[in-house]
């Protein structure tokens, strides 16, 4: 080691040693009123008055930004001076004048909080804040998209803050009313009602009270429409309507309010009437008295409604007028309250049923004067309850007529007519039949059903099994969980004339209670779009919850006019097949067949595709070598599988077999972008608590890619573990047979780089000695030995390479709490700084050019350098006290004590940044800066934002010196709405050309979705397509392949 290098290393070590002998470094708190001028030539007024005059002079000259800066400095230097309040207000005024509304409003808030007593023009501050709120309410966002949209709800925090600061201001009623308007326009009616109610009771004499009261009723009207079953909301609306009509008798809105009040009365009457009907239908114990209470409530409280007459009719049916009750005469007009008797034969027959029980509740008298006897207790889950307007018992049949309801555990039936045979369990139903069974709905006109076997014949019927509507000429329930349908139509569209549907000669639907929904088996199936048949299969089976077809049609400059279709089938629970049929006017017909399978602990698949390409050399950018590899017969085969053999062991493999190097780029562009050079490998890995062992095989299936083959490679890693009481040991070992295969072409094969191969064994052993000094300074000396044996080298002989490493990692942390307050970032903010130095000395007894190069193990050379760096964290708490890094930066460079050929003293300056502004907004960047050349070697930056409506916004920049300067921006808007949009642009500033421009708009109709897309690639070739899918199964477009 040279003298100067040794001195440098010794100096660094001494500095760290001195640091270790000191106390933990902490930040010094800056006292109020201090300000440090970074610019030594800056003007420094000597008093608050001088500073005020200086800032005012700049403002009068029109230098607003400079004046604002000086006013801010004045506040920081002399926060308690007489000029501080005026300076703070001036900062807000200048922001307001410059149109920076958010900063202006926040400055005014700080002004009111800190200098309230020193304000000279409080009303002016409030007027400016109110103007900012007005601009926020009217401001259009995203004007470039169909003229933009307004979001008045974003002004609510501004308006509420103004009211908090000045609740008795003259504009307070107007502001409170505008808060209600903002909530109302946003559809947040609950909060709008609260805001309008505040206007009513806090400012009853203002000119805004009547309008607020009317708007409150309008909001409640919308809430009633949204949740008509809510008694609380309806009663709140009735009270608000009554108060409005009593308070504002001459209002021009009175007629509207009266009409709404009448509607609410009808709803209230209907609600009480339905409760009465509910109690009336309860079989046992009878609840006729409860029903009577609600019917009488309808008559008394809502006599003008139609429900009052219906309630009177039900009372006459339930309690008919009788000459005597229990031997005592009933007065004229008095209603008898004795329960209507049931024939004695009915309960006797019910009691004779051993395992299946039918209970009855008649609503109309069925016999004479005998007292009603109690029905037997229902002791079986197969018990059936029958209610109807009229019940009769004839020849062993229980017959119900009018509003018949049959209840059984897991099933219910409603019809105009029902007959029940208690002995056989047969039920016959006719007229307006609705049957619910385990959440499924069936409708028809005739039904034969056995409540004991749960089998039946439904005749012509309509059924709904999520997400499919099924109609059939004949339907039979052949078991408790299986239906058989003849001449059936299946669709996910509602209505009688679906756009997309399938017809089948026979369908069997089986309820297996699986995530995919009910399982369907069909024979002789034809799929239709409108009246046009598009696909036929003799046998089809699948779960209703999975997709079937999707289509994309359009035009591409590379492919011509095209139709891309796919059909997805599930022949078994564990296998999914996807068939592709692609028609290209310029390229021909493409066929593909994919299979995806699942095992109890794994999954995998195979993708195949073939096309006889009419124009395989369409791409003008192909080199002669690439053209020589391509012919018209083009194909791809992709196989992958992953199996979790045990909790500690897994197997994974991937195989890609391609006809030529551009087939993916031409027909599967999305896959090509993700993986330009597809891999072929298989790996078996076992990971225990203290070690990991595995075997990997890499084998090239395509000779036009440069590949390192491993046939095979075995690995063993011993995780860092204690070695005695102080030290730690870690080991990494690799052994295998390796071969470097360079890409081959069909022209001039002699000029290709020669392939080479060798066996290799490598073991890397490290020992660490962690030390902690003064409870904060960390020093970790380490020593390592790497031994590598090569079976062959460029010299033609075996070699053994020895590498020795010595090093030390030194670091410490200092931290400071910046604030306990909450903000957009989270709760509280803490700064942590971690400077570090990592020294490495590495000696190799063989130079790299004397060894075959397979991977980074063979690239290791001599090193004698120190890496200096500093990490900075800004930490905050989010959610349930979850600590996250709001900001994480790492800045470092290396000083080389010994330089290799072509190297400088200092390595590149590297900076990495990861900023989590919120859980939904993240910024990342990394760069390398060559300090000697004064230029960036590489720079990457990414920003991504996820909005509350699931919209996504992304911006990305990639720079590589003399090679690439790529900007990419993408947006996905309103993905959960009926209308959604996607935008993507990529621009390469180095080549001064667009790499890609893509626009896609989707719209969901009743049962189908349509997507219209436009893409222009790097060759300015346009592609236009229309994508069709079924909404029940979501969108899965092939547009990414273009």
Q: Look at residue 456 in the predicted model and tell me its pLDDT.
A: 73
Q: Is residue 238 part of a domain?
A: yes
Say if residue 1039's pLDDT is above 80. no
Judge if 943 and 886 occupy the same domain: no
Q: Tokens 């890499």 correspond to what residue? A: 698
* Residue 700: burial class (beta carbons within 10 Å; 0-12, 13-18, 19+): middle
Question: Do 891 and 980 fall within a single domain?
Answer: no
pLDDT at 44: 82
pLDDT tens for 354-377 read 334 444 444 433 333 333 333 333
Of 388, 380, 409, the C-alpha closest to 480 is 409
CATH code of the domain covering residue 53:
1.25.40.10
Q: In this structure, are 142 and 21 located in the same domain?
A: no
Position 1 scores a pLDDT of 43
Which residues, including other chains, have CB under 8 Å from residue 371's CB and lie 6 or more apart?
338, 341
Statement: residue 602 has pLDDT above 50: yes
State residue 595's pLDDT score: 94
Span 291-305, average pLDDT = 84
Average pLDDT across the chain, whole number:
81
Average pLDDT over residues 185-206: 87
Q: Residues 197, 242: one domain?
A: yes
Q: What is the mean pLDDT of residues 181-196?
A: 88
Listed residues 882, 907, 932: the one ending a domain:
907
Percentage of residues in the chain having pLDDT higher than 70? 84
Residues 692-716: what's their mean pLDDT? 91
Give 28's pLDDT tier (boundaries 50, 70, 90).
very low
The reported pLDDT for the residue numbered 666 is: 84
Per the domain annotation, does 80 fall within a domain? yes
119 with 232, same domain: the answer is: yes
- Residue 20 is predicted with a pLDDT of 40
Q: In terms of DSSP H, where are the helices of 282-389? A: 288-301, 306-318, 345-351
Of 825 and 838, which is predicted with more confidence?
838
pLDDT interval class at 904 (50, 70, 90): confident
pLDDT score at 1033: 66
Domain shared by 831 and 935, yes or no: no
**What pLDDT is attached to residue 839?**
95
Which residues sit opposite 575 in a β-bridge? Answer: 572, 597
pLDDT classification of 733: cutoffs 50, 70, 90? very high
Q: Are residues 97 and 17 in the same domain?
A: no
- Do 10 and 126 share a domain, yes or no? no
Q: Across residues 948-963, what is the average pLDDT?
A: 90
Give the pLDDT confidence score for residue 343 in this predicted structure: 36
Last residue of one domain, picked from the residues 219, 238, 272: 272
Query: Would residue 805 count as lying in a domain?
Result: yes
pLDDT band, very low/low/confident/very high, at 589 (cuts 50, 70, 90): very high
Provide mean pLDDT across the span 806-829: 87
Q: Are residues 109 and 211 in the same domain?
A: yes
The pTM score is: 0.56
Region 90-97 average pLDDT: 92
Among 243, 272, 301, where does a domain finish? 272
In the DSSP assignment, the letter for residue 662 is T
Tell me what the mean pLDDT of segment 509-514 comes to: 68
pLDDT of 39 > 60? The answer is yes
Per-residue pLDDT reduced to its tens digit, 551-574:
788 888 888 898 888 888 777 778
Whether residue 326 has pLDDT greater than 50: no
Q: Is the pLDDT of residue 29 over 60?
A: no
Tokens found for residue 694: 């595995």
| 973 plus 1038 within the same structural domain | yes
Domain that holds residue 107: 48-272
Residue pair 203/173 in contact (Cβ under 8 Å)? The answer is: yes
Instruction: pLDDT band for 693, please (50, 70, 90 cuts).
Output: very high
Q: Compute the chain's Rg from CA coordinates.
A: 40
pLDDT value at position 745? 67
In the chain, how many domains are there?
Answer: 3
- Tell me if 226 is assigned to some domain: yes
Instruction: Indicate whether 323 pLDDT > 80.
Output: no
Q: Do 882 and 984 fall into the same domain? A: no
User: 330 pLDDT exceeds 50?
Assistant: no
What confidence tens digit (pLDDT) does each residue in 395-418 have?
A: 778 888 888 888 777 677 888 888
Contact (Cβ atoms closer than 8 angstroms) between residue 312 and residue 299: yes
Cα dist. 953→149, 974, 981, 982 in Å?
Answer: 17, 11, 12, 10
Higher pLDDT, 686 or 574: 686
pLDDT value at residue 31:
36
Report whether pLDDT(390) > 90: no
| 480: in domain | no
Residue 1034 lies in a domain: yes
Asked whether residue 630 is assigned to any structural domain, the reply reads no
The Cα–Cα gap between 899 and 642 comes to: 46
Whose tokens are 């570090």? That residue is: 836
105 and 54 in a common domain? yes
Looking at residue 142, what is its pLDDT? 57
CA of 896: how far to CAs of 8, 402, 785, 942, in Å?
A: 11, 97, 21, 31
Q: Is the pLDDT of residue 522 over 80?
A: yes
Does the pLDDT value for residue 134 go beyond 90?
Answer: no
Asked if residue 486 is part of any domain, the answer here is no
């Amino acid at each position: 080691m040279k003298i100067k290098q040794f001195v440098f290393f010794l100096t660094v070590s001494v500095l760290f040693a001195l640091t270790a002998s000191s106390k933990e470094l902490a930040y010094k708190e800056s006292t109020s009123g201090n300000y440090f001028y970074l610019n030594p030539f800056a003007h420094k007024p000597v008093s608050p008055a001088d500073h005020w005059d200086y800032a005012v002079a700049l403002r009068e000259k029109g230098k607003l930004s400079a004046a604002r800066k000086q006013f801010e400095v004045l506040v920081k230097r002399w926060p308690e001076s007489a000029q501080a309040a005026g300076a703070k207000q001036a900062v807000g005024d200048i922001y307001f004048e410059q149109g920076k509304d958010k900063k202006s409003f926040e400055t005014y808030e700080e002004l009111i909080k800190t200098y309230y007593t020193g304000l000279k023009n409080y009303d002016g501050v409030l007027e400016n804040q109110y103007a900012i709120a007005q601009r926020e309410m009217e401001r259009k966002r995203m004007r470039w998209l169909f003229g933009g949209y307004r979001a008045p709800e974003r002004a609510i925090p501004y308006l509420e803050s103004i009211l908090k600061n000045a609740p008795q201001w003259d504009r307070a009623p107007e502001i409170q009313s505008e808060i209600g308007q903002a909530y109302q326009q946003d559809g947040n009616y609950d909060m709008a009602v609260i805001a309008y109610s505040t206007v009513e009771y806090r400012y009853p004499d203002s000119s805004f009270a009547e309008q607020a009261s009317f708007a409150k009723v309008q909001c409640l009207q919308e809430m009633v429409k949204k949740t008509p079953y809510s008694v609380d909301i309806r009663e709140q609306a009735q009270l608000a309507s009554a108060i409005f009509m009593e308070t504002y008798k001459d209002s021009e809105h009175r007629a509207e309010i009266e009409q709404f009040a009448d509607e609410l009365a009808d709803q209230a009457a209907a609600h009480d009437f339905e409760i009465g009907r509910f109690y009336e239908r309860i079989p046992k114990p009878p609840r006729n008295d409860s029903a009577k209470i609600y019917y009488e409530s309808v008559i008394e409280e809502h006599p003008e409604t139609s429900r009052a007459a219906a309630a009177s009719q039900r009372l006459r049916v339930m309690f008919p007028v009788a000459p005597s009750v229990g031997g005592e005469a009933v007065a004229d007009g008095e209603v008898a309250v004795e329960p209507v008797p049931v024939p004695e034969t009915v309960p006797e027959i019910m009691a004779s049923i051993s395992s299946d029980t039918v209970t009855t509740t008649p609503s109309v008298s069925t016999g004479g004067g005998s007292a009603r006897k109690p029905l037997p207790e229902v002791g079986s889950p197969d018990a059936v309850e029958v209610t109807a307007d009229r019940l009769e018992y004839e020849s062993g049949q229980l017959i119900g007529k009018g509003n018949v309801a049959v209840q059984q555990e897991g099933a219910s039936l409603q019809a105009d007519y029902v007959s029940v045979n208690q002995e056989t369990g047969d039920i016959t139903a006719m007229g307006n039949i609705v049957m619910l069974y385990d959440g499924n709905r069936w409708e028809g006109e005739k039904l034969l059903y056995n409540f004991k076997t749960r089998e039946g014949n439904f005749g012509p019927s309509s059924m709904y099994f999520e997400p499919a509507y099924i109609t059939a000429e004949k339907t039979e329930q052949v078991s408790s969980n299986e239906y058989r349908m003849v001449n059936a139509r299946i669709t996910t569209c509602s209505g009688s004339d679906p756009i997309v549907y399938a017809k089948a000669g026979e369908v069997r639907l089986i309820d297996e209670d699986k995530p995919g929904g009910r399982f369907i088996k069909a024979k002789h199936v034809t799929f239709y779009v409108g009246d046009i048949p598009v696909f036929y299969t003799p046998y089809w089976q699948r779960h209703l919850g999975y997709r079937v077809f999707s289509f994309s049609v359009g035009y591409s400059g590379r492919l011509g006019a095209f139709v891309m279709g796919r059909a997805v089938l599930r022949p078994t629970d564990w296998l999914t097949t996807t068939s592709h049929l692609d028609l290209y006017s310029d390229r021909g017909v493409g066929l593909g067949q994919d299979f995806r399978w699942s095992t109890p602990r794994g999954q995998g698949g195979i993708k195949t595709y073939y096309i006889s390409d009419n124009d395989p050399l369409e791409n003008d950018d192909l080199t002669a070598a690439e053209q020589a590899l391509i012919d018209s017969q083009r194909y791809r085969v992709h196989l992958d599988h992953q199996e979790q053999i045990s909790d500690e062991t897994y197997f994974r493999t991937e195989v890609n077999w391609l006809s030529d190097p551009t087939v993916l780029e031409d027909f599967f562009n999305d896959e090509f972008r993700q993986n330009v050079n597809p891999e072929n490998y298989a790996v078996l890995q076992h990971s225990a608590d203290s070690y990991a062992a595995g075997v990997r095989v890499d084998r090239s299936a395509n000779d036009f890619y440069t590949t390192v083959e491993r046939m095979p490679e075995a690995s063993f890693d011993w995780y860092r573990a204690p070695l005695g009481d102080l030290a730690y040991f870690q080991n990494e070992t690799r052994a295998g047979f390796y071969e470097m295969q360079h890409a081959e072409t069909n022209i001039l094969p002699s000029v290709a780089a020669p392939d080479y191969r060798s066996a290799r064994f490598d073991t890397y052993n490290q020992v660490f000695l962690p030390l902690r000094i003064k409870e904060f300074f960390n020093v970790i000396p380490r020593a390592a030995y790497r031994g590598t044996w090569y079976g062959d080298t460029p010299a033609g002989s075996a070699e053994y390479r020895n590498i020795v490493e010595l090093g030390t990692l030194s670091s410490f942390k200092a931290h400071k709490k910046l604030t306990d307050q909450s903000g957009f970032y989270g709760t509280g903010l803490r700064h942590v700084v971690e400077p570090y130095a990592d020294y490495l000395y590495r000696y190799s007894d063989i130079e790299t050019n004397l060894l075959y190069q397979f991977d980074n193990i063979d690239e290791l050379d001599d090193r004698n350098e120190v890496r200096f760096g500093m990490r900075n964290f800004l930490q905050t708490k989010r959610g349930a006290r979850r600590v996250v890094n709001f900001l994480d930066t790492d800045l470092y460079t290396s000083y080389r004590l010994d330089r290799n050929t072509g190297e400088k003293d200092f390595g590149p300056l590297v900076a990495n940044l990861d900023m989590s502004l919120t859980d939904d907004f993240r910024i990342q960047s990394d760069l390398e800066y060559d300090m000697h050349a004064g230029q960036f070697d590489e720079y990457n930056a990414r920003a991504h934002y996820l909005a509350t409506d699931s919209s996504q916004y992304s911006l990305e920049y990639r720079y590589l010196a003399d090679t690439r300067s790529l900007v990419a921006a993408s947006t996905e808007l309103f993905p959960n709405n009926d209308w959604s949009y996607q935008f993507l642009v990529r621009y390469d500033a180095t080549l001064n050309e667009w790499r890609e421009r893509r626009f896609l708009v989707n719209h969901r109709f009743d049962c189908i979705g349509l997507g219209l897309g436009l893409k222009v690639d790097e060759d300015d070739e346009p592609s236009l397509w229309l994508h069709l899918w079924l909404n029940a199964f979501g969108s899965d477009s092939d547009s990414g392949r273009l």
